Amino acid sequence: MPKKHIIFLISSIIFSLIVILLLKAKSTYSFTNHIVISEVQVSGGVADDEFVELYNPTDSSVDLTDWRLTRKTSSGVSENNLVASISGSIPAHGYFLIAHPDYDGLVAEDQVYSATTSAVASNNTVILYSDAGVTVVDKVGMGSATDIETTATSSPNDNESIERKAYPSSTVDSMGSGGIDEEEGNGEDTNNNNADFVMRSISNPQNSNSATEMPTLPSPTPTLEPTPTPTLEPTPTESLTPTPTESLTPTPTEELSPTPTEEVSPTPTEEVTPTPTEEPSPTPTEELSPTPTEEPSPTPTESLSPTPTDILSPTPTEELSPTPTEEVSPTPTEDVSPSPTNEPTLSPTLTLTPTPSSTPQATPTPIKNVIGVFNFPGRRSLCTFNLRVVRVFFLKLAVPEISCFRI
């Protein structure tokens, strides 16, 4: 594989990693987006003192008209209606209570069982449909029930109930009276009945008039939401341009030291021609003064690395012409006259810096490519993109750098 392809591949991988690190960490909570069975009591003061509570974890009220609630025996073969056709609606983050006629709780039911002879028992499965028994919205299997979601939850005793969790970390204590998750809703749904429910020693039925319960989102979430949007949108277009591939192909320091003859043959014919016409125009006088002072101090290796980065990023058409000039002029002149034995890699670059510097650095480009100005929370920042050349053995790797400065 050619070196230029390797360099481009490595640069792309590094850039992808940077993008991934900038992304917001998503919440691990398994909040569902549909109506769920949130609490079930199978018996109380009397055998049929029972109820089934529904919870709406979404931001909109839901019309329950023609929905159906059934129960299955432990074998999963026999299924009977509790309510053949529900009527009413459930508010956003609110509740809807369906109860047996013998239910004697203090919270009034929103709807009574239509099949008064049917009742939920231990080891049963309670199923909620959004139509006449075809589309299953949610189901809860208890005890030895076979029609379940992954694993059945335990069957509650008299006056006890099973209640759906608010979060994966919710416990009996946190969901109970005074617990930290008591008013966080019942939206946890991993499709595992045993993992999604806790056993309440005292049931807590709620109806459509009860206070709504919206889960509290983690504090970092709203802060990180807008961050990836402005940063990531413009970046792919600039970083994925083909200019880095062409500019880093010759790599004067690597190509000239092992094989001076190979560099001279392809470069002079193609690159000398565009040099005189395109490079006198961009004001060489302005660039010559800062160039010599910056390059000698940080050693020739570091001065060369930022130069191709700045030239190539802004204008792909102009970068092709100045880039070969840097490689051609030092290659034939410097390698032949100062003898290849005396530091062929670094010396030609330093001695000939004044002559070719007017060509590549004459381009009126900024030191770093400006991605844009972004309004982060509490500050306004200027973000720039730069390719930093790093040597690894005989390779030169272009490592993208994204920097943001407060303005």
Identify each DSSP E strand in 56-154 by its residue range: 62-63, 68-72, 79-83, 89-90, 95-99, 111-112, 125-129, 136-141
What pLDDT does 70 receive? 97
What pLDDT does 80 receive? 94
pLDDT under 70 in the chain at which residues? 1-5, 19-30, 217-368
Distance, CA of 267 to CA of 255 (rounded, Å): 11
User: Alpha carbon 228 to chain centroid distance?
Assistant: 8
Q: What are phi and psi of 270, to 5 degrees?
A: -85, -35
What pLDDT does 363 receive? 44
Question: Which residue bears the tokens 């030239």?
Answer: 311
Distance, CA of 66 to CA of 96 (rounded, Å): 15
What pLDDT does 1 receive? 59
What pLDDT does 305 receive? 40
The partner residues of 162 in beta bridges, in order of sequence, read: 40, 199
Segment holding 386, helix H or strand E: strand 379-392
User: What is the CB-side half-sphere exposure of residue 401 using CA atoms within 13 A?
Assistant: 15
DSSP 331: I
Do residues 332 and 369 touch, judged by C-beta distance below 8 A? no
Exposed, middle or buried, 125 (CB in 10 Å: 0-12/13-18/19+)?
A: buried
What pLDDT does 373 receive? 82
What pLDDT does 378 receive? 75
Q: 37-76 pLDDT, tens per residue?
A: 999 999 998 889 999 999 999 999 999 999 999 999 999 9
Distance, CA of 241 to CA of 254 (rounded, Å): 24
Distance, CA of 398 to CA of 389 (rounded, Å): 4
Do residues 59 and 170 touch, judged by C-beta distance below 8 A? no
Question: Which residue bears the tokens 């101090």?
Answer: 297
Segments making up each domain of the chain, as ranges: 3-22+228-406, 31-216
Do residues 97 and 89 touch, judged by C-beta distance below 8 A? no
What pLDDT does 375 receive? 82
What pLDDT does 173 receive? 96
Exposed, middle or buried, 256 (CB in 10 Å: 0-12/13-18/19+)?
A: buried
Distance, CA of 382 to CA of 305 (rounded, Å): 23
What pLDDT does 325 receive? 38
What pLDDT does 4 receive? 64
DSSP 140: E
The architecture of the domain spanning 31-216 is Sandwich (2.60)
Distance, CA of 124 to CA of 384 (rounded, Å): 62
